[in-house]
Amino acid sequence: MNIKSLLLVIISLGTGGLIYAQNFPKDTLRYEITYDYSYQVNKEDTLSKQKELMALYIAKDFSYYISLNQKKLLDMARDYEVSKVLPDRKALSRSKINYTIVKEYSTIKSIFIDRIGQGTYTYNQNLDKFDWKLQEEQKDILGYNCKKATTEFAGRTYVAWYTTEISIADGPYKFRGLPGLILSIYDTNKHYQFTVASIKNSSSFCNTGEQLQKPTQITYEEYKQLKKRYKEKPSSLINSGGMTFPKEMLDLADQRAKEKMKFENNPMELTD
């Protein structure tokens, strides 16, 4: 069940375009940063590298990290709400990264939203703390002077390049906390890499509560369990989506999931 069909199902069921969840920050944006995100799903196979364009939307009091393809999909759903014209199936973009992260500066909280199976779940956490070691090296990225810093995070060592010319203590994914925006960050194996692709000013409105489905509030522990269960036996979560599928299909999905899990042996976060 991919996102395209999901979107069409949702739209055609007449549930409307978007759901606006409460308690999610919204404001006029100030900046839009995009990153090329490259990640290697198999430890040994360098050809298993995947790519996705990610966006970091920055407002005064929060930032919103989302895959650009998923953002396009949300925009399309919003357009549908207004125009009621079903978008062309071909125009629907397929996002490989389904989670979004909201970092709230004022409350030092992060809101993590992810889709698992057919459900959308969210959990809140304190913003991650990073122990950054500042280094003397400097280099130019897209015309911005960047300084080097290193840190450990979830079992990997990362090298970050941040610029004090943009004094936003933020970055892609969960990364934050340097005296300037992170323009490039990668682990020392170069399995996970984020590199800035564009920097833009923005004045568009962003509501982080825009979702295709209403997210279910859970705790971080529950989230981890759910994720684990889905990886091992996706069928257990497909059924709970409200539709029923023949058993053969579910078995097949489980079989595939096992194979996929075996191959995708290189998660970004190795430890909690």
Partner 1 sequence: MRIVFWLLLFLGNCLYSQTIIKGEVLDIRGKVIVNASVSIYKKSSSAIIAYAITDSKGMFAITLVSPDPEVDLEVRCMGYETVVSAINNSTQIKNFILSEKSFVLKEVSVKAAPILQKGDTLRYLVNSFSKEQDRSIGDVLKRMPGIEVLPDGKILYQGKAINKYYIEGLDLLEGKYNLANDNLPYQEVSQVQILENHQPIKTLDSLQFSDRTALNIKLKNTYTFTGQARIGTGFSPLLWDANITPMLFSKKRQMLTTYQTNNTGDNVALQLKKLTIEDLLNQFENNSEKIDWLAVQQLANPKFSEKRWLDNSIHLLSSNYLQKLKKDYELRVNVSYLNDYQQQKGFTNTQFFTPSGTIDLLEEKYNQFYYNSLQTNFTLQKNTTKNYFKNSLEFQGFWDSQRGNIVLNNEGLKQELSNEYFRFSNNLKSIFSIGKQKVVLFSYLGLNKTPQELRVNPGQFEGLLNENKPYNSVTQHIDLLTYYTNNSLSMIKAVKYFTLESKVGLQLENQKLNSNITTSTNSVLSPDFSNTLDWFRSKLYVDLNTQFKKANWRFELSTPINFHAYTIKDIPLQLAEAVNQTTFEPRLTVNYDVNSYWKINSSAGISNQFGTINQLHYGYILQNYRSIKRIDSPLPQSKIQNYNVGISFRNSVKSLFFNTSYSNVQSENNLLYQSEVSPNGAVSIDAIEQLNTRYSHNFSTRIGKYVSAFKSNVALNSSFVLQESQQIINANLVDIANQNLILGSKIDTDLTDWLNLEYAGRWMFSNNKLEELKQPLVKQQNHVLNLNFNLKSKQYVGLKTEYINTTLFNERNENVFADFIYRYTIQKKKIDFEMQVNNVFGTNNFETINVSDFSYVATNFMLRPRQLLFKVRFSL
- Applying CB under 8 A, among 12, 106, 244, 271 the residue interacting with partner 1 is 106
* Span interacting with partner 1, options 1-9, 37-45, 105-113, 262-270, rule CB under 8 A: 105-113
Contact status, residue 114 vs residue 98, Cβ threshold 8 Å = yes
- Applying CB under 8 A, among 30, 43, 72, 214 the residue interacting with partner 1 is 30
Instruction: For residue 54, count CB atoms less than 10 angstroms from its CB and return exposed for 0-12, middle for 13-18, buried for 19 or more.
Output: buried
Q: Of 236, 241, 212, 215, whose CA–CA distance to 225 is shortest?
A: 236
Nearest residue (CB) to partner 1, 37 versus 144 = 144
Q: Does residue number 22 form part of the binding site for partner 1 (CB under 8 A)? A: no
Q: Does residue number 136 form part of the binding site for partner 1 (CB under 8 A)? A: yes
Contact status, residue 272 vs residue 154, Cβ threshold 8 Å = yes
- Using CB under 8 A as the binding criterion, the count of chain residues that bind partner 1 stands at 36
Q: Does residue number 171 form part of the binding site for partner 1 (CB under 8 A)? A: no
Q: Does residue number 107 form part of the binding site for partner 1 (CB under 8 A)? A: yes
Q: From the DSSP assignment, how many helices (H) and strands (E) are in the chain? A: 5, 15
d(CA 4, CA 1): 8
Q: Does residue number 65 form part of the binding site for partner 1 (CB under 8 A)? A: no
d(CA 260, CA 251): 14
Which positions lie near partner 1, rule CB under 8 A?
30-31, 34, 36, 58, 60-61, 90, 105-108, 134, 136, 138, 142-144, 147, 164, 166-170, 177-180, 195-201
